[in-house]
Structure 1
């Protein structure tokens, strides 16, 4: 029995490829079923975030070939594009990699805390579908214990920084004061909650939150005084937004070039900052072609988060 990690991340692949390899919630369940039923692996967990997609698994043989072929076929990918961006870790190196990931040591933002929750959620999905057992399950339990110790006993999580924080930092660089700015946040997950928190702490009090279900976004009203709308209502409110930050799990873009073009006309071409944290992308790439629309993706935030990395290297 061999332990294997197979994956791509922000260090090895662009956002274009990462969004093609990412698993939606339904795809994740289908993938775990396939891995189990086709006996590609003995036991497995799939971690899929905006910055990484990784398959943690137990194999009868140490070769990763069958898992690579399965991943390529599942997403209908070209081998020439995929293979150079993949990395593998085996046995002890695989265990070490999982622990580094869970502790935030392999994140775009060193020490960011969200990844631990994402790893726990990925593990829970595998447990629910009976896709994990034996040594791999014990490894994940040990990893959660290690990550808790790291958070408790070191300052790796100090001076909170994240992709959400980087997005807000970018907004503060472009707009002199957030107090007079209106922010449209698309999604209601943990990342958008962090974005709203950072914006609110920097005096941005005009916040609109758009989500598929209003109920899920209701807590934003109480916590930040936000106006909650549905995704279908975005076109009616887009022109009010100086800042648009989006992070959903939608398989296709929610905000298109035409929608932004109309909003800019209504704004009399006052500039609009759009930050797309989602993978796959929530905002059409063509939006960046518009005058007065400044579009950034998670990859564009890299230079911002790099400046924050130094603060945590000593703790790491």
Structure 2
């Protein structure tokens, strides 16, 4: 059984393809619950965000995981083949740690991805598709992410998708205090957008969310900095004209802002310019909106050029973080190897105990019959030593016969190290 990481991200696939294989929590929960009954592939976690969809799985082969990803989204495997990356075992562990640490994100070092990976693990646990071994890998990845953030500068110099949207707004509009901003959906991403814009001194923020309670929670968090108004989701279209900046990230499977909605809003605004940022995958805003005069439309892929200037210091720190992640991945795999060897070592020791008991019983019987105790002990130690060393002798002979001379040399050197440590230990007493 191997550990695989397989998926697409902003570097390997267009937003159109990422839309096709994106999962919302309800769909994913249903699919994983079904998969938990599949004995061939029932140990998996799926991470699906705006910039990536990845499957992490304990499986016999990557093709099985690849086929599931395609079938779950009604796609032919050939459509994914040239866009999907695959990692196995050590590389897969390293990739997961890089993702959790924000080293593989569109926004280098972004903190949101760690929470998203944790949520993905939690959802998979609820669907009963996480084994102890898979859970151990994820928990260690979270530990690695914490180390990266606390011991390197990758997590410093606040840079996030929300910050990028706020910076973009300041580039398009020179006077933030006169801006009215609308956030469509009050989830984690748009909450960051709202908080950054509030800190930058925009005039007003309109919050449009399906659930009023969540909109009210966000409003309470930023009301001390900016004038806030909550709008019912059903009134989204009729209020578009009030906003200079619109940031949308609903997670809906259908577009929520149409071409006609924006065209009507522009007319009501007397064609004053508008900035629309679509952070959702699948997209919330009709791409044709970009053809309207006076409208600036940015998607998640477009933001890359906006954020590059904010990443110089993080890129420098990322070099140090990459070294740390590679070392932590090696440590985890070493621990796993030791754990896997534990059963073999236990069985070897148990066999040694069986041999000891056999020889001890024989020796005690001979002494009870009146044999010379000193001779019995000499023969006991000789026979036991021979039996214990016999398997090692066989392995050494096989290694000496092997075509690769390095095999025997490696075993010889390791045995010499053991003997040397033994001699040194004796000299300490």
What TM-score comes out, normalization by structure 1 length? Answer: 0.96
The alpha-carbon deviation at position 40 of structure 1 amounts to 4.3
Residue 310 of structure 1 pairs with residue 308 of structure 2: no
- The residue aligned with 2:134 is 136
- Structure 1 unaligned blocks of 5 or more: none
- The residue aligned with 1:91 is 89
- The residue aligned with 1:55 is 55
The alpha-carbon deviation at position 220 of structure 1 amounts to 2.5
CA distance in 2, matches of 1:67, 1:264: 47
The alpha-carbon deviation at position 184 of structure 1 amounts to 0.6
- The residue aligned with 1:111 is 109
The alpha-carbon deviation at position 113 of structure 1 amounts to 0.3
Instruction: Between the two structures, name the one with larger relative contact order (CA 8 Å, sep ≥ 6).
Output: 1
- The residue aligned with 1:215 is 213
- The residue aligned with 1:66 is 64
Q: Which has the larger radius of gyration?
A: 2
CA distance in 2, matches of 1:38, 1:130: 11
- The residue aligned with 1:21 is 21
CA distance in 2, matches of 1:142, 1:223: 33
- Structure 2 unaligned blocks of 5 or more: 319-429
CA distance in 1, matches of 2:79, 2:290: 25
Residue 230 of structure 1 pairs with residue 228 of structure 2: no
Contact 2:66 2:77 in 1 (8 A): no
From 297, 300, 311, the equivalent of 1:298 is 300
1:263-305 Cα deviation digits (max 9, x unpaired) = 0010011111100001110111111121212111000001112
1:78-111 Cα deviation digits (max 9, x unpaired) = 4443211100000011111100100001011111
Contact 1:19 1:280 in 2 (8 A): yes
- The residue aligned with 1:265 is 267
Task: Find the residue that maps to 1:314 and give its secondary structure.
Answer: helix
Matches for 1:105-254 after TM superposition, within 5 Å:
105-225=103-223, 226-254=228-256
CA distance in 1, matches of 2:257, 2:208: 12
Task: Find the residue that maps to 2:311 and give its secondary structure.
Answer: helix
CA distance in 1, matches of 2:108, 2:184: 25
Task: Find the residue that maps to 2:58 and give its secondary structure.
Answer: strand
1:18-70 Cα deviation digits (max 9, x unpaired) = 111110111110221233223342411000000000000001x2x21122122
1:188-244 Cα deviation digits (max 9, x unpaired) = 111111101110111113100100011111022222232111211112211111000
CA distance in 2, matches of 1:50, 1:90: 24
What TM-score comes out, normalization by structure 2 length? Answer: 0.71
Q: Which moved more, 1:30-39 or 1:87-96?
A: 30-39
RMSD over aligned Cα, in angstroms?
1.2
CA distance in 1, matches of 2:276, 2:40: 41
- Show structure 1 runs of 4+ deviating over 6 A: none
The structure in which a higher percent of residues are strand is 1
The structure in which a higher percent of residues are helix is 2
Paired positions, count: 314
Contact 1:183 1:243 in 2 (8 A): yes
Task: Find the residue that maps to 1:93 and give its secondary structure.
Answer: helix
The alpha-carbon deviation at position 133 of structure 1 amounts to 0.9
